[in-house]
Amino acid sequence: MYLAGQSEAATAIFDRYVARLIALARRRIGSKLGRRVDAEDIVQSAYRSFFVHAGNDEYLLNKAGDLWRLLASITLHKLYGQIEKHTAAKRSLNREDPTDLATAAAKTPEPSAEEVVAIIEELHLVIQELPPEERLVLMASLQGQENPEISRSLNKSERTVRRLLANARRKVEQRLSQSDSTDDVFRRPEREPEAPLLYSDYVLEQLLGSGGMGKVYRARVKGTQQTVAVKALHKSRQSDQRAVAQFVKEAQLLTRLHHQNIVRVAGLGRFPGGGYFMVMDYIDGIDLQSQLDVQPFSIQAALKIISNVADAIGYAHAQGIIHCDLKPGNILQDKQGNVRVTDFGFAFLIAGDAATSGNHIGGTRGFIAPEILRGLNLPAPTTDIYSLGALLWNLVTGRLPEKPFTHHSGKKEQKAVARIVSRCLFDDPRERYQTITELQQALMALE
């Protein structure tokens, strides 16, 4: 719920665990450091860290108890950092201050009922991860049984019982007192994406264009006369993990898509310095925005373009992909009039389990659907249908549609276009065309 943008989920996560986390921190601080280390501040800092990383979908929680275990580990990591900070200044060559974690724990006053609940829950989660034999021996010991009794009940030698008990206690102690960044256990594995294309196989010949994110070059495949386009992030963006992830996702998506109206991507490669590049079909033409800067399109030309774009987007929807950033600058037209959709950098995945990960929602104001702009809904086919309506009106008039959309021209053809555009641009997605097929039928009737 939190990843889906529901703000009440953050409140629920905070309220559910804050008291137990504060209790956990207090019992680890001890009385001597209690005046200088505030458990509530520690927990607030832990929550801030958690929500930052959780908001980027960096954690992978698989089973019951993982969320508590993760929050507890972040809290302990923050706490031990503060304890280290406050005790380091008191150490010297002649005298080691006795205020370490073990001493602090030993000096902790009798726990409250709330703290006992926190202790029991934490201990229970740790014990569940022990091997079965170690877990049985430890549980029996915690229930007050002596080693000979445990030995008889489990039909094990006392030596084996002592070994199992020592192993279990060591693991529990390590788990409860670890001071490294244990939240890394829950991090999503950051596997390097495959980038098999070799930079040495291409010769960059000309810079075709540069935007806020990257550059596109015309290039030649060595040893052949084949011309391709090479797209790369700006050097300043190569260290931006989100920008890199968005770039890699776009390349991976386009490698999967095979449609005559979508720019084909051959794959990913890496520069000698480590940055990624993608190799695409070279389109000998210009984008629609460059043509609009000169003059609008005729209605017939605009309808033909939108029909081709709709074909491409309908195909993408069938693959579970929403483009999310349809605009004139992302539509290319070659010298023969063929249309290609490009720039799937903000594409949203709705297929399988992909809708829960790796989706950074974006778009361009004027073309992006209002429910996405306000964060009210996740992208859906109706998201691209809104953008197609705005794109059609932009191509015909050279202007973005006003909100609310009205049309006062006396031209019969523009009124017919406006009826289609108007339905695409409803604020309520349920009132728009629901599928690309519906929109295409309306366009065919107009043609």
66 in a structural domain: yes
3-class DSSP state for residue 185? Answer: helix
The tens digit of pLDDT for each residue in 158-180 reads: 889 888 888 888 777 766 654 34
Q: Is the pLDDT of residue 336 over 70?
A: yes
Among 183, 287, 311, 325, which one carries the catalytic annotation?
325
End-of-domain residue from the set 224, 251, 281: 281
User: Are 30 and 176 contained in the same domain?
Assistant: yes
pLDDT, position 59: 84
241 in a structural domain: yes
Which range, of 5-19, 54-68, 99-113, averages the lowest pLDDT?
99-113
User: Are 245 and 165 contained in the same domain?
Assistant: no
User: Are 419 and 301 contained in the same domain?
Assistant: yes
User: Are 329 and 223 contained in the same domain?
Assistant: no
Give residue 292's pLDDT band: very low, low, confident or very high (50, 70, 90): very high
Of 26, 27, 3, residue with least CA distance to 13 = 3
**Taken in order 43, 49, 50, 51, is the CA torsion positive or negative?**
positive
Amino acid at 130: L
- Strand (E) positions, 54-154? none
325 is catalytic: yes
2 in a structural domain: no
308 in a structural domain: yes
Give residue 186's pLDDT band: very low, low, confident or very high (50, 70, 90): low
Whole-prediction pTM? 0.56
End-to-end CA gap in the chain: 44
User: Are 180 and 266 contained in the same domain?
Assistant: no
User: Are 418 and 441 contained in the same domain?
Assistant: yes
pLDDT over 70 for what percent of the chain? 81
1 in a structural domain: no
pLDDT, position 302: 96
User: Are 304 and 367 contained in the same domain?
Assistant: yes
Q: How many domains does the chain have?
A: 3
The CA distance from 363 to 369, in Å, is 9
User: What's the CATH number where 360 sits?
Assistant: 1.10.510.10
User: Are 56 and 158 contained in the same domain?
Assistant: yes
User: Are 250 and 322 contained in the same domain?
Assistant: no
Contact assessment for residue 305 and residue 297, using Cβ atoms and an 8 Å cutoff? yes
List Cα–Cα distances, 377 to 57, 91, 350, 380, 403, in angstroms.
Answer: 18, 56, 13, 8, 20
User: What's the CATH number where 206 sits?
Assistant: 3.30.200.20
Cβ neighbors of 336 (< 8 A, separation 6 or more) are none
Backbone angles phi, psi at 326, to 5 degrees: -80, 125
Q: Which domain holds residue 400?
A: 286-446
213 in a structural domain: yes
135 in a structural domain: yes
The tens digit of pLDDT for each residue in 73-112 reads: 899 888 887 777 666 545 444 444 444 444 444 444 455 5
User: Are 273 and 313 contained in the same domain?
Assistant: no
The CA distance from 323 to 380, in Å, is 9
Q: Is the pLDDT of residue 436 over 90?
A: yes
User: Are 202 and 182 contained in the same domain?
Assistant: no
Q: If you average pLDDT over residues 341-350, what whole number do you get?
A: 83
User: Are 304 and 411 contained in the same domain?
Assistant: yes
Neighbours of 360 (CB within 10 A): 16
192 in a structural domain: no
